[in-house]
Amino acid sequence: MKEAVEPIINTEGLNVFYGEQHVLKDVTVGIPEKRITAIIGPSGCGKSTFLKSLNRLIELTDGVKVSGKIYFHGLDVFDGKIDVMYIRKKMGFLAQKPCPLPMSIYDNVTYGPRIHGLDDKKELAGIVESCLQSASLWDEVKDRLKTPASRLSVGQQQRLCLARALAVAPEVLLCDEPTSALDPISAQRIEELLINLKKNYTVVIVTHVLRQAMRLADHVVFLYLGKLIEHGSAEKVFRNPENTVTQAYVKGVFS
Amino acid sequence: MDKRKLEEAFFKALMLASTLIVLGSLLAVIVAVVVRSAPALSLSMLTQTPKGGYYLGKEGGILNAIAGSLYLVGGATVLAFAISLPVALYLEEYAGRSRFAAYARLFLDVSWGVPSIVYGVFGFTIMLYLGLKASLIGGLVTVALFEIPIMVRVMDEVLRMVPLELREASYALGSTRLETAINVMVKQALPGILTALLLAFGRGIGDAASVLFTAGYSDYIPTSFSDPAATLPLAVLFQLGTPFPEVQMRAYASAAVLMIIVLSLSMGSRFLSRRLTRYVVR
Amino acid sequence: MERRLKDALASKLMLIATVLSSLTVFFIALALFQKGSFILTTRPLSHLFSSSWQPSKSQFGFYPFIIGTLWVTGLAMVLAIPVSLLCAIYLAEYASKSVRDILKPLVDLLSGIPSVVYGVWGVLVIVPIIRDYVAPAVGATTTGYSILAGGVLLAIMVFPIVISVSEEVFRSVPYEVQEASFALGATRWQTVKHVVIRKGLPGIIAAVILGFSRAFGETMAVLMVVGNVARAPSTVFDPGYTLPALIANSYGEMMSIPLYDSALLLAAFILLLVVFSFNVAARIILMRIERRMR
């Protein structure tokens, strides 16, 4: 259906240990550019760990050891010469629980650009408007940009977090079960936004809800017990999985 | 990009410097006191009471203060324990999350912060009112009052860590609250309770202001509750104030003895609690 | 049945013990005020705030002591707050667990050292350093027994409480918010500056209040190095006299001069009032933070 696309991110032999526990086992996979890739699998199988390895967020946790390679645009993410903060800038992150920073709505969105050194007020204001528009939040908050972000509803907060992530002009959006803490209506809005965003961004979404993956994904990566079982286009993995474990999972036998 | 790295490095340096200042002060205090007092520290210092002319530089030692402190603070800690344990148990087991418990805890916490001189003045005022003279019992009760908030606080935290399932198991067997408190909670929290005792004892023995007005001072080891009692902190204070360098050296020595006692208690209690926790149900 | 009786009796006794011990502070305040207020009936408040303190001439102006206490405590806080906060941030955000497990107990050890020992150390080390090195460096002369000596000692004594409370506050900032900041590409310091400190601000304030309260009431160590001269100081190299030191020093003469005991008890009452209010305020702030965590 869709032509094969060049992967923008490639992992090779990715292994992650939490202390003694071997959480990700030798994962080698590619993430295609400007598509929505869903990482699926039962809970606790290393999906979030995989996601957080891509932007090297995982190594901030005590006792974590990562080995293997991750290539972004062909560059080795672990190369000492590359600034890890540059990687994180290029890969926006949306967490499961909406997490507004303790500041106003405006400051939340401008936080990213500001810490990277942008202080031109006009540019910042422009970024605020465009990102809140892209997150479909602008109309609801444009009159109260300076009020604390904590006063927003949960669904609005998640959209704010999306706007905040977009503000640093990433190329990739990493979403860790972004709708699991939301009500169905807010969840739906986020899903619509993600579908819209794939025109300009590569989206990687971790989800344990098969139906969500079926709705959104162009490409699927199936992880089970830390191992890569199968990956490919959504068509193939959902209709004609090669692996028996995938077949069982996709049929909803276990989730 | 560089500016951020610079900022990070700068503050990191400041942080390390601050940590070094704090740790350095600790080291400076311990080392200086021990080193400067070493010449005066001898066995006779520790085992003799002041003889005639002691304060003029002649023989004797600080046994009066060592014994006085041990009696006074030992007794105070026992008294404080007798009151604090029931209070802590009550707060944990009977009052739990109630408003009453919250207020009680608040006031006890605040009592912990009350300067010991206030306790000393209070103790003195009561003693005057009752017609008592400065004595072992006066100091004992005052230090006990001072120690109670500390003990209750620590024991409260320790009792809180007793797992709910353990308590529930006891109740499920039909125990009363008292029986659960004594048989389950105290046994389970024993290491922590011991730590609380040692901690309070350490605070009590090191404090001067609470005994200044209430315990008096004496060159002799107290033999009854109404005798005045010398204490180590006051020994330091009084000996420091004399014009004789030999006596001043003894003040340093007394300070070193006091410091060593308190620090060993502090480290000992930590070590003890870690070892005893091994036998406790998890 | 007998078990139930024992339980009921025990719980009544424990309740009484709890009520009495919680209210001890109030009993103390009452007793102090009762005797201390006597002097208020014989002297106007303006007299009590005057700068003349000569009990033998029946003059009880507390001004020098109030000022002295504020100077020493203020200096101590100015020295202690930046160092303590930086150290707390290091322990909470930068140090690895093994480092933290070693350093934290060491910091706590500072709070165990008796104040007379600090006083001796002050006399042995701090006073000579001030007299022989610091003062000449700025062109001042002093015996060394000064506000500065008291301030430095108090700062060291205040380190452990400000550090331990602040460190706990920083550790309690939820990880997700910090993670969100890192995910945007912030450095660790930027995250600390914009997120951790901001969220932890009420807790920091509480820690500072507790530290101030501790410094305000400290008696012995200050007494031994501050010079005990009843005159309002004009520089940090001048000697001073604090309220707690006054109370402690006047022990001997208190009974022989009329109104002296009442004056001192009033001073003690004021001390209690100040410390009590500060501590209650700090504890309430900390309780609110804890509640928000749940």
HSE (CB half, 13 Å, CA atoms) of B231?
31
Q: Please give the domain boundaries of chain C with CATH numbers for all domains.
A: 2-293 (1.10.3720.10)
Inter-chain contact B1–A115, Cβ cutoff 8 Å? no
Question: Chain A within 8 Å of C95 (Cβ-Cβ)?
Answer: no
Q: Per-residue pLDDT tens for B79-93?
A: 999 999 999 988 887
Hey, what are B249's tokens?
Answer: 């050296």
Q: Which helix (H) or strand (E) holds C137?
A: helix C135-138
Give backbone dihedrals phi and psi of B28, rounded to 5 degrees, phi first: -60, -45
Q: Per-residue pLDDT tens for A146-205?
A: 999 988 999 999 999 999 999 999 999 999 999 998 999 999 999 999 999 999 999 999
* B42 band by pLDDT with thresholds 50, 70 and 90: confident
- C280 to chain A, closest Cα gap in Å: 27
Collect all residues with Cβ–Cβ distance below 8 Å to C2 and sequence separation of at least 6.
Answer: none
Q: Per-residue pLDDT tens for C121-151?
A: 999 999 999 988 888 888 888 888 999 999 9
Higher pLDDT, C48 or B55: C48
User: What's chain B's average pLDDT?
Assistant: 86
pTM of the model: 0.84
Contact in structure between B117 and B233 (CB atoms under 8 Å): no
- d(CA B1, CA A86) in angstroms, rounded, equals 10
pLDDT at residue C272 tops 80: yes
User: What's chain C's average pLDDT?
Assistant: 89
Q: Per-residue pLDDT tens for C236-259?
A: 899 999 999 999 988 777 777 778
Inter-chain contact B1–A83, Cβ cutoff 8 Å? yes
Chain A residues whose CB is inside 8 A of the B2 CB are none
Q: What percent of chain C has pLDDT over 70?
A: 99
Nearest one of A90, A28, A84 to A56, comparing CA atoms: A84
* A132 band by pLDDT with thresholds 50, 70 and 90: very high
pLDDT of residue A1: 44
Q: Which helix (H) or strand (E) holds B217?
A: none
Nearest one of B224, B257, B221 to B239, comparing CA atoms: B257
- d(CA B177, CA C10) in angstroms, rounded, equals 10
Distinct helix (H) and strand (E) counts, chain A: 10, 10
Chain B residues whose CB is inside 8 A of the A85 CB are 4
- The C-alpha R_g of chain B, in whole angstroms, comes to 23
- B163 to chain C, closest Cα gap in Å: 18
- Nearest by CB to A101, from C180, C185, C187: name it: C180
When pLDDT is averaged across residues C63-68 and rounded to a whole number, the result is 90
**CA-based end-to-end distance of chain B:** 49
pLDDT of residue A35: 92
- d(CA B208, CA C223) in angstroms, rounded, equals 12
Hey, what are B37's tokens?
Answer: 């007092």
Chain A residues whose CB is inside 8 A of the C198 CB are 102-103
- Put simply, the chain C residues between 231 and 270 with a CB less than 8 A from any chain A CB are none
Inter-chain contact A83–B4, Cβ cutoff 8 Å? no
Whole-complex ipTM: 0.88
A118: exposed, middle or buried (C-beta count within 10 Å: 0-12, 13-18, 19+)?
middle
Chain C interface, best mutation among B1, B110, B232, B252, by max C CB count within 10 A: B110
Inter-chain contact B103–C94, Cβ cutoff 8 Å? no
- Nearest by CB to B209, from C91, C190, C219: name it: C219
* C54 band by pLDDT with thresholds 50, 70 and 90: confident
Q: Tell me the three state secondary structure of residue A233.
A: strand
Which chain A residue has the Cα nearest residue C177?
A99
pLDDT at residue A255 tops 60: no
Collect all residues with Cβ–Cβ distance below 8 Å to A118 and sequence separation of at least 6.
Answer: A124
- Nearest by CB to B110, from C112, C121, C276: name it: C276
Chain B residues whose CB is inside 8 A of the C228 CB are none
Task: Using DSSP bridges, classify how beta strands A7-18 and A21-32 pair: parallel, antiparallel or unpaired.
Answer: antiparallel
Contact in structure between A37 and A204 (CB atoms under 8 Å): yes
Chain A residues whose CB is inside 8 A of the C201 CB are none
How many cross-chain Cβ pairs, A to B, lie less than 8 Å apart?
6
pLDDT at residue B248 tops 90: no
Nearest one of A253, B165, B124 to C255, comparing CA atoms: B124
Hey, what are C257's tokens?
Answer: 């001069």
pLDDT of residue B57: 64
When pLDDT is averaged across residues C171-198 and rounded to a whole number, the result is 90
Q: Per-residue pLDDT tens for B206-245?
A: 999 999 989 989 888 888 888 899 999 999 998 888 888 8
Chains within contact range of chain B (3+ C-beta pairs < 8 Å): A, C
* DSSP result, C58-94: TEE--HHHHHHHHHHHHHHHHHHHHHHHHHHHIIIII
pLDDT of residue B131: 87
- The C-alpha R_g of chain C, in whole angstroms, comes to 23
Chain A interface, best mutation among C184, C187, C197, C201, by max A CB count within 10 A: C184
- d(CA B134, CA C284) in angstroms, rounded, equals 38
> What is the dihedral angle through the alpha carbons of B245, B250, B252, B257, rounded to the nearest 10 degrees?
170
